[in-house]
Structure 1
Amino acid sequence: MRTSAAFSHTVRSGVRNGRRNVVLYVVSTASGEPSQVGFIVSKAVGNAVTRNLVKRRLREIAAETVRRHPCGLNVVVRALPPAAAATWGELVNDYHKAFSKVAPRLAGSQWNSRRPDNDAAVDKA
């Protein structure tokens, strides 16, 4: 995600869930549009070196989301100041817990019917 309009749309109209280290905003898009992820890491997180470290970690964690859901999602990840001191495991845990809370709340979207969890449940039945 590169434009401020895309960030604003996702933050204002997206579903939000916050954890100790991150806040996730997710909005579903048209089914054919590729998924996009944007990051907000303010100076409150730390100096430039610390902010870039946090961004690199979050970028790697979010890449899994894009691999699982290549189309139909816009995600904004806001790093909170405690993220600077968080371990890799804490960031992963917070991101995944926030995403797992946000995903079911994308009510009425076509995305819910395409979730891999739903496909696995259908295959087992």
Structure 2
Amino acid sequence: MKKEQRIKKNHEFSKVFEKGASFANRQFVLYILNKPGQQEHRTGLTVSKKIGNAVTRNRIKRLLREAVREMGDRLESGNDYVIIARKPVLEMTFTEIIKSLEHVARKAKVLKKQPKSFT
């Protein structure tokens, strides 16, 4: 994720939590706040201390950043997203994390359809 695509400040997270809509599955909670004037989407990540020690939390955040980067062009622009990881993420592989994030994004109707290839 590029620097301008990150949510870092506490008041930005709070605004998304207060005014945004939430969607969840067993692994993630996704908060979405529509920002019409914004060109790109911005993403913030949250991993609670309940999930593990600092090493574990940072590993999960790295995997989530990479997953968001891979699905980034398919996420709707003009939104702020906050992703909260839940405990089942600990046992998941990278591909399972991507599938689960896509599931929550489809549930929230913010995932663009992939164009079908004719090859």
Q: TM-score, normalised to structure 2's length? A: 0.78
Listed one character per residue, the Cα deviations across residues 16-47 of structure 1 (whole Å, up to 9, x for unaligned) are: 11111111111111244431100011111111
Q: 1 CA distance for matches of 2:87 and 2:112?
A: 33
Q: Which has the larger radius of gyration?
A: 1
List structure 1 segments (4+ residues) > 4 angstroms apart after TM superposition: none
Residue segments in structure 1 that go unaligned for 5+ positions in a row: 105-114, 121-125
Structure 1 residue 116: deviation in Å? 4.6
The 3-state SS of whatever aligns with 1:74 is strand
Listed one character per residue, the Cα deviations across residues 35-67 of structure 1 (whole Å, up to 9, x for unaligned) are: 110001111111111111110111111123432
- Pick aligned residue for 1:39 from 38, 41, 45: 45
Residue segments in structure 2 that go unaligned for 5+ positions in a row: 1-6
Q: TM-score, normalised to structure 1's length? A: 0.75
Partner of 2:17: 11
- The answer as to whether partners of 2:38 and 2:79 remain within 8 angstroms in 1 is no
Task: Report the RMSD for the aligned CA atoms in angstroms.
Answer: 2.2
The 3-state SS of whatever aligns with 1:57 is helix
Any residues of structure 2 matched to 1:12-91 within 5 Å, and which?
A: 12-69=18-75, 71-91=77-97
